[in-house]
Amino acid sequence: MSTYFYLHMNFSQLRKDVLSIPNYFEQFGEPLRSSADEVKAYSVDSFKLMVTAFGRMTFINRLRYCYLGRSKAQVAYENALELMERDVLVPQPVGYIEQKIALKQAKSFLITCLVDYRPIAEVIKYLNPHKKNNLVTEFATFLHMLHSKGVFHTNLNMSNVLCKRVGLGFEFCLSDTIHIKFQPQTKNRVLKNMASMSISLDLYIAVVTEYALLTKQNPSEFFDRLLQCRNKAGKK
């Protein structure tokens, strides 16, 4: 097995510990949250890190990532850097590791700083109706900000976006940086992105309504256009 790693210059002192991650990842404890990829915490001296292991790939994808493109970890790392350049809050990227076996991509690891944010899906369960409405309003504003900066998250759901209470409001953080497209904002791209969200119907209606009002659109007309877009994409 061959191993390649890249470490951000600000974390060069962690070189030895980062290189050991593939060997000890299974011993890091329970995953931080439920997701398609394993996410675990890892502490090194005064640094609290978050390690995401990407490994569930088909045979074809293993070959593709090895020969034709970047690993998932590299994509997530570079997207995180670009998001920071666009003033979008993400966990500080530390580096990434790639492993290959017999010329195939075996596994890759993204290392970031650990953040004290939780998925919206977890936070919203414990909010009263008033705070819940505030979160929905601020989430719609956050989506509008992403779109205005040319950031389109292609796997939007209540687990892929993190948040926490800050003062009387909420602050949002993108942890799933692999599903990001950087494109100029257009009405069609916004429509497709909003239509692709996977959230409960009541929250979806609330977020769409707030987004429409924020962008000076008629909520009913905007929702109808989104429904047409979702139907074309086969979403219920």
List the CATH number of the domain containing 202: 1.10.510
The residue range of the domain holding 76 is 2-113
Q: From 63, 86, 113, give the residue that closes a domain.
A: 113
What token pair was written down for 109?
A: 């690891």
For position 46, what pLDDT does the model report? 87
For position 60, what pLDDT does the model report? 47
Whether residues 13 and 85 share a domain: the answer is yes
**CA-based nearest residue to 109, from 53, 167, 42:** 53
Per the CB < 8 A criterion, the answer to whether 71 and 155 are in contact is no
Number of domains in the chain: 2
Whether residues 91 and 161 share a domain: the answer is no
Whether residues 66 and 146 share a domain: the answer is no
For position 236, what pLDDT does the model report? 60
Q: What are phi and psi of 119, to 5 degrees?
A: -55, 145
What token pair was written down for 140?
A: 């719609």
Whether residues 94 and 150 share a domain: the answer is no
Residue type for 149, please?
Answer: K
Length in residues, the chain: 236
Whether residues 98 and 56 share a domain: the answer is yes
Q: From 79, 113, 147, give the residue that closes a domain.
A: 113
Whether residues 23 and 107 share a domain: the answer is yes
For position 28, what pLDDT does the model report? 87
* pLDDT under 70: residue ranges of the chain: 1, 34-35, 55-69, 102-106, 234-236
Cα distances (Å, whole numbers) of residue 188 to 81, 184, 219 = 26, 11, 16
**CA-based nearest residue to 89, from 70, 116, 110:** 116
For position 45, what pLDDT does the model report? 84
For position 221, what pLDDT does the model report? 95
Whether residues 93 and 49 share a domain: the answer is yes
CATH number at residue 97: 3.30.200
Q: From 64, 86, 113, give the residue that closes a domain.
A: 113
For position 32, what pLDDT does the model report? 82
For residue 173, the surrounding DSSP H or E stretch is: strand 169-174
Whether residues 133 and 97 share a domain: the answer is no
With vertex at residue 207, the alpha carbon angle to CA 202 and CA 211, rounded to the nearest 5 degrees, is 150
With vertex at residue 112, the alpha carbon angle to CA 109 and CA 113, rounded to the nearest 5 degrees, is 150
For position 158, what pLDDT does the model report? 86
Whether residues 123 and 104 share a domain: the answer is no
Whether residues 6 and 108 share a domain: the answer is yes
Whether residues 86 and 159 share a domain: the answer is no
Question: Per residue in 131-151, pLDDT tens?
Answer: 999 999 999 999 999 999 999
For position 57, what pLDDT does the model report? 52
Whether residues 98 and 126 share a domain: the answer is no
